[in-house]
Structure 1
Amino acid sequence: MDSYLPWVQKWLPGLSDFNPMHYVAYFILGLTVAFALGRRAGTWLGVLLNIAFCVLYGLSDEWHQSFVPKRSPDPLDLLHDGMGAAAASLLVFLIFSLVNRKKSKNYREG
């Protein structure tokens, strides 16, 4: 999986490893939480709630791994989980912002 690392480091300098499944899983979790938040997902408070929930879930997952044989908790995994959730939260926020902008009375095409 680290074969993608040099490409990803161009966008996220300082990243020491890259496991896309952490990003994908928590991106999907972030979308799910955004769906549960409804309209609130389109606010900055909703973004923060979404990320906080996903990071807390990731923290519980890392803690759980400390009890599983041949597994160990990894703070970098938690960072990657949070980044996936943040990407989903910000995407949902952007979509809400664009949709609300087009519905605004002050919006003009072109």
Structure 2
Amino acid sequence: MRRGQSELQNSTSRRTFNWKWVRFIPAVIWMTVIFISSSRSGGELNSWLPWVQQWIPGLSSFDPMHYVSYFILGLAVAYGLGRLSGTWPGALLTVAICTLYGVTDEWHQSYVPMRTPDALDLQHDAIGAAAASLIFLVVLKHRRSRNYTIS
């Protein structure tokens, strides 16, 4: 009888699916958006700038977009990490993941015509991710102090 029960438990545990990885889908989607955007040549980006300036007056280059893009990526990665994002190690992990992705993005740009890798862009990426991570950390800590449930 015990053997049958253990076989049933093993077959049941094989059928259960861990859905936690699904929380990273927004981060993967946003990484894809960043990758596609950084695949554009410098000439293509300059042709988009006047259109973007209609929505964001005073924008003279796409440098501030690094903050915004990696802020969004930081929020998405923090969401993917779940409860861990509400701790300092989780916040640092979020920044590390985003910064590492920024490194790969800058490397990728070295192969795109009229684009070059730039350490200042990487710094902007890290600052955007750190801001998002810090906000996520503060919000989760505040929610925990109020005894809200966090998934």
Same fold (TM over 0.5): yes
Which of 71, 82, 85 pairs up with 1:41? 85
Shift of 1:43: 0.5
CA-based RMSD? 2.1
Aligned equivalent of 2:121: 77
TM-score under structure 2 length normalisation: 0.56
Amino acid at match of 2:136: V
Which residue number in structure 2 is paired with residue 11 of structure 1?
Answer: none
Alignment equivalent of 2:131, drawn from 72, 82, 87: 87
Give the Cα separation in 2 of the matches to 1:68 and 1:103: 49
Deviation at 1:69, TM superposition (A): 1.0
SS in 2 for 1:40: helix
Percent identity reads: 56
1:8 matched residue in structure 2 = none
CA positional deviation for 1:19? 2.3
* Paired letter, 2:83: R
Gaps spanning 5+ residues in structure 1: where? Answer: 5-16, 105-110
In the TM superposition, residue 56 of structure 1 has moved relative to its aligned partner by 0.3
Structure with higher Rg: it is: 2
* Equivalent position of 2:98 in the other structure: 54
Show the counterpart of 1:26.
Answer: 70
Misfit runs of 4+, over 3 Å: none
Question: Which of the numbers 110, 128, 140 marks the counterpart of 1:96?
Answer: 140
Deviation at 1:18, TM superposition (A): 8.3
For residue 107 of structure 2, the aligned residue among 59, 63, 66 is: 63
